[in-house]
Amino acid sequence: MGRLFGTDGVRGVANAGLTAELALGLSVAAAHVLAEAGTFEGHRPTAVVGRDPRASGEFLEAAVVAGLASAGVDVLRVGVLPTPAVAYLTGALGADLGVMLSASHNAMPDNGVKFFARGGHKLADDLEDRIEAVYEEHRTGAPWDRPTGAGVGRVRDYDEGFDKYVAHLVAVLPNRLDGLKIVLDEAHGAAAWVSPEAFTRAGAEIVTIGASPDGLNINDGCGSTHLDLLKAAVVEHGADLGIAHDGDADRCLAVDAAGNEVDGDQILAVLALAMREAGTLRGDTVVATVMSNLGFKLAMERAGLHFVQTAVGDRYVLEAMKEHGYALGGEQSGHVIVLDHATTGDGTLTGLMLAARVAATGKPLAELAGVMERLPQVLINVPDVDKSRVSTSAELAQAVGEAERELGSTGRVLLRPSGTEPLVRVMVEAADTEQAGAVAGRLADAVKAALG
């Protein structure tokens, strides 16, 4: 069996790859592994369980809750809330475990199970590996040690989670948003109620789109992966800016008043300068990934800030931040981690802090984002290939070498297997868009030929 856990939990097509049986078994295994690790020692364990609005989240939530309770874990069911809300509540409520049912930006048929450790942090790799091993051991026949009587877990709804999380978001803002008109695209996802409430409490005038989840329309032509509706709405309503989330609201992308995209690199750059000014950017350092635009690195250097680069995945950004005590990190895709206020990427918090900077400076978002110039970057996703052979294919290595020689010092190439989807991502950066597109197209063809 291949590794179940990817870079962001266990994902698959709900009721096909990701079944109720798998969700239940993983939850029981997680409870046993954390008990073995001493997490539950000396007290009755508690877990926070939340989900995004996907239809499949209803039965998967039931399976996870059943698994945890059967293993003797009390469950606080918080309902439809963003992933960062479940992480926050896990820490704020002193819970031993958090579980989020979501496939983030993926299409509606997918879903996922993501575990948080005590404090709201992502589980360490070794714990995930142990959960997989224990799950597989019991899936093939070894019986579970099950509590009975008063030892079984109790389940209750924790409706206070919504207000507790929104109050936290508004309380950590450096200033209010009065005078700003903001369009919010909630991707028909987990932030459909949280985000409008938070922005309104912070003083903004809001217009919402993509805020009517029905279980089937999550990420469907809207949200951070489809910005056209937000761009049009910002211009139509004469808004100061637009904020777009993905399905579980751990991402944030933005749109300026003219309808131009402001990506995660630009958001990081704006927040880095704001935090440096406030004295909260520890070490004058920002953490980002190898996918960050070269223009971001150059902008940070011009500003006298340090730039630490990691592998792709917000978990690797977070690891570097925690190891060295840095306060800000993120990804071009809009995962932004402000470690003083969140343990994971939080799209609503990011959007609020970006808007707060616009309000505090009185400058339009386009001017603030202009601190960095994005070099042309082309990304092509190549599906239906054996992504496990990216690093071992000699044919592919030759194609990459030829591309790098063509680009020279004016650009770069990055090939990587997706951590959450069955595809290979080809990224090319170059001095002009035409060259980047041509090189990326040839490399995508090479990936299909070598790995198809």
Could you list the residues known to form a binding site for Mg(2+), using ranges.
104, 246, 248, 250
Residues 6+ apart with CB under 8 A from 259: 231, 232, 234, 235
DSSP state of 6: B
Backbone angles phi, psi at 228, to 5 degrees: -60, -40
CA distance 261 to 231: 8
Q: In 140-285, which ranges are continuous DSSP H helix?
A: 161-171, 194-201, 228-237, 264-278
Q: Identify each DSSP E strand in 14-73 by its residue range.
A: 46-51
User: Residues 245, 189: contact at Cβ < 8 Å?
Assistant: yes
CA distance 126 to 121: 14
Active site residue 104: yes
CA dihedral 89, 67, 8, 211 (to 10 degrees): -60
Residue 135 CB-density burial (10 A; 0-12 exposed, 13-18 middle, 19+ buried): buried
Going by DSSP bridges, is the β-strand pair 253-256/241-244 parallel, antiparallel, or unpaired?
antiparallel
Q: In 381-432, which ranges are continuous DSSP H helix?
A: 394-407
Please enumerate, by residue number, every residue annotated as part of a binding site.
104, 246, 248, 250
Catalytic residue among 27, 102, 104, 393: 104
CA distance 263 to 253: 5
Q: Identify each DSSP E strand in 58-213 by its residue range.
A: 74-80, 97-101, 110-117, 155-157, 181-185, 205-209
Give me the active site residues, please. Answer: 104
